[in-house]
Structures are given as structure tokens and as C-alpha cells.
């Protein structure tokens, strides 16, 4: 039985490269509302038995909303896991079988109170491949119009608008420390155009 990275859609730019190891045992040890944990057993190149606990995640989206004046819509989000307010781009988990572009449009409305005329794929990356298989799909949202914000129970979110220069300054000063936001901003700033993104439906809404 192959591991998750034994994929027909490799992300390392080397199609057809075989995985170095193959799991021969997988044992579910936790299943929650957001992710599951699986104990994976395999042999290394020397034949030694290796055991790893791997987080299985359905994937997620994050959105870079760009206003008409070029400023970016961000959120300040209270994160229970780290006990701090973090500056982020809005984001959310994919539902089973959900088109990432549709999820991006949904999360944008729910968390920021903006609807987008256009959702453009920017790129995709693994968030923490050392122990998890979560893929983060990055989108740019433009043509923004205000809509009612729809926060989930327990969410504490403040919507803020920042210039690109302000975001760059925050990064330089170590004030922006959310990994997905750093990765998404880097892809977007360097002009990524969806390479590697494989959404399950149309890559753009209302082109």
C-alpha cells in the first residue's frame, strides 16, 4: 500500500519519480472533525522498520482578496492552539469532494464579509509535510463587494485592510508569522499563476 506522496500528481516537478518507501501497515489512531491521525509502518533503505504518526487532512484554501485600490483584505484571528492573535489571509478546510475555488469564495464571504467577482488560482503547497499531507490551495480574489459576514460559532475575527508595502514590512519585522499567509503572499507577489493547482472543478468563478 503506497503512502500519500505516491501520487499521480507529484508536486516536486519530477513526474514519474517513484516514492522511496512503501507503507505495509496503516493503523488509524484518531479521527476528529478537522483531521485524522494514522500510524504508518514502513521499511527504510536498509530494511529497518520505521513507524511514523501522520496527520491526514482533506486540504484547505486561503484567499488573497485585492481591493480596487490594490490594498489587501486580511484578518486578525484568535488562534486557540497558540493563544495569540495572528494576522492572516482568510482560509478554511475543504469539505469532502469540494471544489477548492468554490471553497475559496465561501471562506472569503464567511470570514471577511466580501464577495468576489473573480477567483483566480495562484498556487498550491504542502503546509507541514514532515508530519501531515495537507495541501493548501491559494487563490486571489478581485472585484470585491461587501456582503454579510458569517462567522462560525467560536470564531474571533477582525477584518483589516493593509497595503502590500505594509505586509512586506510586517514580514521583515517578524510580525506576520502565520505560515500559510507567508507562503500565499510569496506565491502571489512572485506572480504565480496557478501552476500545480489541480482543483476539482473550474479554476475560476465568473471569469
For 138-165, what is each residue's pLDDT tens digit? 999 999 999 999 998 888 999 999 999 9
Q: Which long-range contacts (CB under 8 A, 24 or more apart) does 96-101 make?
A: 96/58, 97/200, 98/200, 99/199, 99/200, 99/201, 99/202, 100/59, 100/61, 100/137, 100/139, 100/197, 100/199, 100/200, 101/139, 101/199, 101/201, 101/202, 101/203, 101/204, 101/205
Give the model confidence (pLDDT) of 31-89 as tens digits: 988 899 999 998 887 888 999 999 999 999 999 999 999 999 999 999 999 999 999 99
Looking up cell 465561501 gives 106
Residue 118 domain-assigned (yes or no): yes
Cα 164 to Cα 162: distance, rounded to the nearest angstrom: 7
Cα 3 to Cα 24: distance, rounded to the nearest angstrom: 9
Residue 207 domain-assigned (yes or no): no
Q: How confident is the model at residue 96 (pLDDT cuts 50, 70, 90)?
A: confident
pLDDT of residue 197: 45
Same domain, 77 and 114: yes
Interval 119-143 mean pLDDT: 96
Task: Spell out the residues 6+ positions from residue 135 whose beta carbon is closer than 8 angstroms to its own.
Answer: 59, 60, 124, 125, 126, 127
Q: What is the CATH number of the domain that holds 179?
A: 3.90.79.10
pLDDT of residue 16: 64
Residue 101 pLDDT greater than 90, yes or no: yes
Same domain, 129 and 41: no
* Environment class of 119 (CB within 10 Å of its CB; exposed 0-12, middle 13-18, buried 19+): buried
pLDDT of residue 92: 95
User: CB neighbours (10 Å) of residue 105?
Assistant: 21
Residue 11 pLDDT greater than 90, yes or no: no
Same domain, 82 and 157: yes
Same domain, 151 and 51: no
Grid cell digits, residue 147: 456582503
Q: Which positions are catalytic?
A: 155
Domain encompassing residue 33: 23-56
Phi, psi (degrees; rounded to nearest 5) at 75: -130, 155
Which segments within the chain are labelled E, that is strand? 23-31, 36-43, 49-56, 60-65, 72-79, 84-88, 91-93, 114-126, 135-146, 157-162
Is beta strand 72-79 parallel, antiparallel or unpaired with respect to 23-31?
unpaired
In sequence order, the β-bridge partners of residue 120 are: 140
Mean pLDDT of the chain: 86
Residue 191 pLDDT greater than 90, yes or no: no
Total domains in the chain come to 2
3 state DSSP class of 45? coil
Same domain, 85 and 158: yes
Amino acid at each position: 500500500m503506497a503512502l500519500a506522496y505516491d501520487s499521480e500528481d507529484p508536486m516536486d516537478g519530477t513526474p514519474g519519480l517513484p516514492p522511496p518507501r512503501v507503507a505495509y501497515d496503516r493503523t488509524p489512531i484518531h479521527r476528529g472533525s478537522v483531521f485524522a491521525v494514522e500510524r504508518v509502518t514502513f521499511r527504510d533503505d536498509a530494511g529497518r522498520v520505521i513507524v511514523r504518526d501522520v496527520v491526514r487532512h482533506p486540504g484547505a484554501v486561503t484567499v488573497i482578496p485585492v481591493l480596487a485600490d490594490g490594498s489587501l483584505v486580511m484578518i486578525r484571528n484568535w488562534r486557540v492552539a497558540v493563544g495569540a492573535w495572528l494576522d492572516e489571509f482568510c482560509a478554511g478546510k475543504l469539505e469532502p469532494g469540494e471544489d477548492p475555488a468554490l471553497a475559496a469564495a465561501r471562506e472569503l464571504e464567511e470570514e471577511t464579509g466580501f464577495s468576489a467577482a473573480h477567483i483566480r488560482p495562484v498556487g498550491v503547497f504542502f503546509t507541514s509535510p514532515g508530519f501531515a499531507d495537507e495541501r493548501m490551495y491559494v487563490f486571489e480574489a478581485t472585484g470585491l463587494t461587501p456582503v454579510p459576514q458569517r462567522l462560525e460559532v467560536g470564531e474571533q475575527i477582525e477584518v483589516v485592510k493593509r497595503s502590500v508595502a505594509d505586509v512586506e514590512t510586517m514580514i521583515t519585522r517578524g510580525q506576520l508569522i502565520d505560515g500559510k499567509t507567508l507562503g500565499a503572499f510569496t506565491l502571489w507577489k512572485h506572480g504565480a499563476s496557478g501552476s500545480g493547482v489541480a482543483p476539482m472543478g473550474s479554476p475560476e468563478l465568473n471569469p
